[in-house]
Chains A and B, each alone.
Chain A
Amino acid sequence: MAAPAAAGAFEGIDAEREVFWGFTRPQLLAFGLMLVFIAVAPFFLYPVFLMKVLCFALFACAFNLLIGYVGLLSFGHAAYFGMGGYLAGHSAKVWGFTPEVSIIIGGLAGMLLGWLIGMLAIRRQGIYFAMITLAMAQMVYFFCVQAPFTNGEDGIQAIPRGAFLGSVSMARDFNLYWLVAGIFVISFLFIHRVIHSPFGQVMKAIRENEPRAISLGYRVDDYKLIAFVISAGLSGVAGGTKSIVFGIATLTDVFWTMSGEVVLMSLVGGLGTLFGPVAGAAIIITMQNYLAEFGAWVTVIQGVIFVLCVLAFRRGVVGEIGRLLKVRL
């Protein structure tokens, strides 16, 4: 999908110049604001809620790497997210690993799964790609329903939070929050770095014009697969972190509605923008929590937001703000 932010229009404007580590000046400002918010928020807002937002923000950023920068819409990202959660949970609970090791294992699980599915999926593009990823994710779901280690419907329960590096207890929400925040910021910077590397430039070239990228001698499939694996791996990290935070890993995280939700988050925030997925995740998670008393209307309201975004705000919240301020965020 072509990124809606018409980046070309701003070329030559000072706001376009990368001033530090691939950030433009407005991006740097936005990043600074985000860091300040992450640092200050736990003193005012409920930390568990904030951790949930951060997990989903990371998930959405990982998803956005594919759609926003390679132009591939995956409708099966729940598979990597959920599998990461299961493996991290299993590592922490059964194998007794520390939280950071468990989360890394979750990420590796996502990468491995992403590699397997990616090899098949990248053979097709556009809608075909979306449907293949969806179907493969369903297969993963069936596997999770039946595999003994996931405990079927009950899920993996009471996953211990453990102690960071084996020494700092994570039992207090406040302690765990800093670990989650750290994982998020590092992953966010990693994604940013990938996008701004020569590798990222080729990815964008593939998005804009795949035949030309091929004719220039790039092995397009390799690039796509690597991007897919990175995205899946980071989704696994997000899922693993979430299962450590909540102490549970269950089937909802592997179900296809979760794949739809991450699409919604990225869409609401702004596809192909750096900060869009973060904003989108914050909006959707907040909504889910506040709408909990409205019962069945939750799905309806989510659907309405989907429709409105597609029809009227294709740039998403961050994209629209960027357009108003004439900057790329």
Chain B
Amino acid sequence: MDLFGIPAPLLFGQVLLGLINGAFYALLSLGLAVIFGMLNVINFTHGAQFMMGAFVAWMLLEWLGIGYWGALLLAPLIVGATGIIMERLMIARLYKLDHLYGLLLTFGLGLIIEGLFRNEFGSSGLPYRIPVELQGAWDLDFMFMPVYRGWVVLVAFVMCLATWLVIEKTKIGSYLRAATENPALVQAFGINVPRMMTLTYGAGVALAAFAGVLAAPIYSVNPQMGSNLIIIVFAVVVIGGMGSILGSVLTGFGLGIIEGLTKVFYPEASSTVIFVVMALVLLARPAALLGRS
């Protein structure tokens, strides 16, 4: 059977691949949305932190012999800790100022991190392999689906769901949400709001690093790997409604699929399509899909 001149199974395969890409978008925009939703900071360092996640995974393997599974746990913790230090030393000083200073600060930090990594590790990238347990592929008859890709979708989906549940359904989540509405009042109830902010930033950064570890076996691990992705992720967050976690996740997966289909029918436009969608959404619904205005 053919759909639009393309065999249906092949088209189905492409949708599947789009979904996998969407998983990365969702995971990255999730971290951005958490940070923005709670701290009102646009984390321009997010791309660099994604890259750090991948590099830390490589360092753990190369220097300490800790493999993929250990890295999946440790790298987010390590990178998250650097995020906490950054928040305490720098970002926390800007909460009282215009949000734009947060954006400019994190932009500068991103430049520093990328530059340092390029100085240390060069530009052409480092090798990182798929763990033995996830090697191989399913032969789906019409295409060849690597096991690792399936794992990415699964893990990303679980992560997104878990984050959403923590924020919407738990007590900590309710404190967080309350603190964004009225930090003074929440502080008055005896909750340490600044510490909560710090940990939130750390968690958002850890999410980026987690995505970085996931990406290391399939994308080239190099210092500029994050900056190419981050602009697209920004668009995802804008479309989803800044700070809306559900919106970001849904948009991430959705845009992955749209992009995947564009890659079949008109590959030249597969990046532009995301920005076109963004423009259309903003024209039709100025508050974005699920945003607060």
Contact = CB atoms under 8 A, between A and B. Distances in A.
A, B: real partners:
yes
Interface of A: 1-2, 73, 75, 120, 123-124, 126-128, 130-132, 134-136, 138-139, 142, 146, 256, 260, 263, 267, 295-300, 302-307, 309-311, 314
Contact of B231 (A138, A146, A304, A311): A138
B105 interface: yes
Contacts of A126: 98-100
Contact of A127 (B99, B105, B271, B276): B99
Interface of B: 36, 42, 90, 93-94, 97-101, 103-105, 107-116, 118-119, 231, 234-235, 237-238, 242, 268, 271-272, 275-276, 278-279, 282-283, 286
A130 B107 CA distance: 13
Contacts of B242: 127-128
Given A123-B286, A310-B101, A131 B42 contact: yes
B100 A132 contact: no
A120 B282 contact: yes
Contacts of A309: 104, 108
A138 B275 contact: yes
Most chain A C-beta atoms within 10 Å of own C-beta, residue among B98, B104, B271: B104
Given A136-B275, A263-B107, A307-B105, 8 more contacts: A120-B279, A124-B282, A126-B98, A127-B99, A260-B111, A302-B108, A303-B115, A309-B108
Given A127-B103, A139-B275, A307 B109 contact: yes
A300 B282 contact: no
Contact of B238 (A73, A132, A314): A132
Decide if the interface of chain B is mainly helix, strand, loop or mixed: helix
Most chain A CB within a 10 A radius of its CB, from B94, B105, B111: B111
Contact of A128 (B113, B238, B272): B238
Contacts of A306: 104-105, 107-109, 111
Given A299-B114, A311-B105, A120 B275 contact: no
21 contacts: A124-B282, A124-B286, A126-B100, A127-B36, A127-B42, A128-B242, A131-B234, A135-B234, A135-B238, A136-B275, A260-B107, A296-B118, A298-B115, A299-B112, A300-B112, A303-B108, A303-B110, A307-B105, A309-B108, A310-B108, A311-B93
A135 B119 CA distance: 29
Contact of A132 (B99, B110, B112, B282): B282
Contact of A304 (B108, B110, B235, B275): B108
A1 B111 contact: no
Contacts of A142: 271-272
B115 A300 contact: yes
A307 B234 contact: no
Contact of B112 (A134, A139, A307, A310): A307
Q: What is the interface of chain A mostly: helix, strand, loop, or mixed?
A: helix
Contact of B103 (A130, A256, A296): A130
Contacts of B237: 131
A81 B118 CA distance: 28
B234 A305 contact: no
A239 B110 CA distance: 26
Contacts of A146: 268
Contacts of B119: 295-297, 300
B282 A123 contact: yes
Nearest to A117: B279
A126 B41 CA distance: 11
A230 to B, nearest CB: 21
Contacts of B111: 260, 299-300, 302-303, 306
Per CB-CB distance, the 7 closest pairs between chain A and chain B, nearest first, are A306-B108, A303-B111, A303-B112, A300-B115, A299-B115, A307-B108, A310-B105
A314 B101 contact: yes
B239 to A, nearest CB: 9
Contacts of A298: 115
B105 A304 contact: no
B234 A310 contact: no
Nearest to A129: B100
A199 B93 CA distance: 35
Given A1-B100, A299-B115, A135 B108 contact: no
B117 to A, nearest CB: 9
A122 to B, nearest CB: 11
A302 B104 CA distance: 12
A130 B100 contact: yes
Contacts of B110: 303
B60 to A, nearest CB: 24
